[in-house]
Structure 1
Amino acid sequence: MSRLYVILDVFTDRSLAGNPLAVVLDSSGLDAAGMQAIARQFNLSETVFLLPADDDGRKARLRIFMPHKELPFAGHPTVGTAVLLGLMEAVAGKGREQAFEIEETVGVIACETKVSGKRSGHARFTLPRLPKTAGAAPSVAGLAAALGLEPADIGFDGHPASRYEAGNPFCLAPIKTLEALGRAKIDSSLWPAAFGGDIGCFLYTRETGDPSVAFRARMLEPGIGEDPATGSAAAAFAGAVMAFERPEDGDHVLRIAQGVEMGRPSVIELGLTVAGGALVSATIGGSAVVTAEGALFLN
């Protein structure tokens, strides 16, 4: 039998940039092993499998697989799939702007989408979980060594290394300069001792080279290498922003550029709603573009 799929580039408004995503449109009848095999075949950072929602009032249920494991939640699959669902609604004559809920293992996620072209759009979703601390951060010396940097490269403006999660845990590494961010690399031999395993490290700096961007970032992890745009890491980063930036009450949108060093420039929009000095809501948003369509032929 055949199953249709779509490839999108996510957190970008042009093809061949951002973070690529595969979405299998009708995944009914596939078990976890079959989904995992298809994700290995695509060999992208994530593949989404669309299923009917458990609740008829919701748009769809998503299962998200990396080539080697299933994830309960991920940002670029959520944004990309939401854009695709919005495009499908527009083709069906239901309008260019949509608001709906989708189901992921982490929980129910509210999305808003707006179609911008025949194959492009923008989506924003509300985090199903607000960020929280995820254990002790590595030492500065251990962190620097695992990233091929010097201890003096770590930290700026009261930002220490930290660990947060909003569905997936990350180490968050503040890097003093854009030059040092570009020098960072994975030392797989030192990584487990520094991080307590193969956890991803989200590196960020305030030096951006672009006044419209609040932070430049990279996401490194052994076994994966580098990821061009990591929405779940940006969601976790909201915890560090609240702890070390202390934004005033009100609504804030921080644009985070990622993937520049690997030739896949991406922009993630992190939205924060702060009241009484506390984070009460957060969103992840960005654009996505359909770059390919096809069919899987499965025996």
Structure 2
Amino acid sequence: MSRLYVILDVFADKALAGNPLAVVLDASGLDAAAMQRIAREFNLSETVFLLPPEDEDRKARVRIFTPQRELPFAGHPTVGAAALLGLMEAMAGKGREATFEIEEAVGAIACRTVASGKRAGRATFDLPRLPQPSGAAPDAAAVAAALGLAPGDVGFEGHAPSRFDAGNAFCFVPLAGLDALARAAADPGRWRTAFGGDLGAFLYTRETADPALAFRARMLSPGIGEDPATGSAAAAFAGAVMTFDRPADGEHLLRIGQGYEMGRPSVIELGLVVRDGALSAASIGGAAVVVAEGTLFLP
């Protein structure tokens, strides 16, 4: 049996940047074990499988797999899948802009897309779950040791290590500047002690070298390594922004640069809606470009 697939670079407007994503266009009839084997075959950070929606008013049902397991939610697969569905709408003559919902294990997700060409577009989705604190804040000295940094490298402007979850849990580590961000390296032997488990660490700094960016970031994990663009971490990062920056009421758009140290520059757009000093809504958005199309030949 053959099935079509597409590979996109997500959170980038040109090929060979951003975070790669495989999308299997018609996954009907595949069980979870088969999807897991296909995700291992692609060996990308995530592979998306498109299925008919359970609610016919929605665009598609989406299942997301890493090479090791299924995820209930992830940011770059959601942006990439939505952007591709928007491109398919445009190619079918339904207009450059589209609004629809997709179904993920975490719930229904509202998406907005714009096609900028035959193989390029943008997508934004509303967070199905706003960030919440996720356990005790990590100790700054232990975090510094686990990242090969000095204690003085951790923290800026009142920002301290924290933990938040908006579908997936992460530790957030503020760093003094780009130099510390570049020097950071995961020490597997000290990781669990510092972070209380195998959670990924989203390192961020206000220093960006680009006025269009609000933050520069890296995503490190001792089991996976480094990720070039982590939308679900950016979603949870809204919790850290609200805690330490306390943005004023209104709408805010923060651009986060990630993946630069890997040679895969990515820009994640984090949208915040603040009312009465609290986060009332948030979104993740970015560009995506199709870089390959092909056919899977399966037994």
Q: Does structure 1 residue 99 correspond to structure 2 residue 105?
A: no
Q: Distance in 2 between matches of 1:242 and 1:195?
A: 21
Q: Secondary structure at the match of 2:95?
A: coil
Q: TM-score, normalised by structure 1?
A: 0.99
Please name the residue that 1:87 is paired with.
Answer: 87
Q: Distance in 1 between matches of 2:64 and 2:149?
A: 33
Listed as ranges, the matches of 1:155-170 within 5 Å are: 155-170=155-170
Q: Distance in 1 between matches of 2:196 and 2:131?
A: 20
Please name the residue that 1:20 is paired with.
Answer: 20
Please name the residue that 1:226 is paired with.
Answer: 226
Q: Distance in 2 between matches of 1:11 and 1:289?
A: 9
Over aligned residues, Cα RMSD in angstroms?
Answer: 0.5
1:80-116 superposed Cα distances (whole Å, 9 cap, x missing partner): 0101000000111111000000000001000000000
Provide the aligned length of Structure 1 versus Structure 2: 299
1:176-219 superposed Cα distances (whole Å, 9 cap, x missing partner): 11100000001111111111221000000000000110000000
Please name the residue that 2:194 is paired with.
Answer: 194
Moved over 6 A (4+): none
Please name the residue that 1:63 is paired with.
Answer: 63
Please name the residue that 2:182 is paired with.
Answer: 182
Q: Does structure 1 residue 151 correspond to structure 2 residue 151?
A: yes
Q: Cα distance, 1:79 vs. partner?
A: 0.4
Q: Distance in 1 between matches of 2:94 and 2:175?
A: 45
Q: Pick which of 137-146 and 260-269 moved more.
A: 137-146
Q: TM-score, normalised by structure 2?
A: 0.99
Q: Secondary structure at the match of 1:36?
A: helix
Please name the residue that 1:129 is paired with.
Answer: 129
Please name the residue that 2:34 is paired with.
Answer: 34
Q: Does structure 1 residue 270 correspond to structure 2 residue 285?
A: no
Q: Cα distance, 1:298 vs. partner?
A: 0.6
Q: Distance in 1 between matches of 2:78 and 2:209?
A: 28
Please name the residue that 1:285 is paired with.
Answer: 285
- The residue type equivalent to 1:237 in the other structure is F
Q: Distance in 1 between matches of 2:162 and 2:80?
A: 28
Q: Distance in 1 between matches of 2:46 and 2:142?
A: 29
Q: Cα distance, 1:137 vs. partner?
A: 1.8
Q: List alignment gaps of at least 5 residues for structure 2.
A: none
Q: Distance in 2 between matches of 1:24 and 1:48?
A: 6
Q: Secondary structure at the match of 1:189?
A: helix
Identity across the alignment (%): 73
Q: Distance in 2 between matches of 1:44 and 1:67?
A: 7
Q: Secondary structure at the match of 2:248?
A: coil
Q: Distance in 2 between matches of 1:205 and 1:31?
A: 42
Q: Secondary structure at the match of 2:116?
A: strand
1:247-273 superposed Cα distances (whole Å, 9 cap, x missing partner): 000000000000000000000000000
Q: Cα distance, 1:236 vs. partner?
A: 0.4
Q: Distance in 1 between matches of 2:142 and 2:63?
A: 35
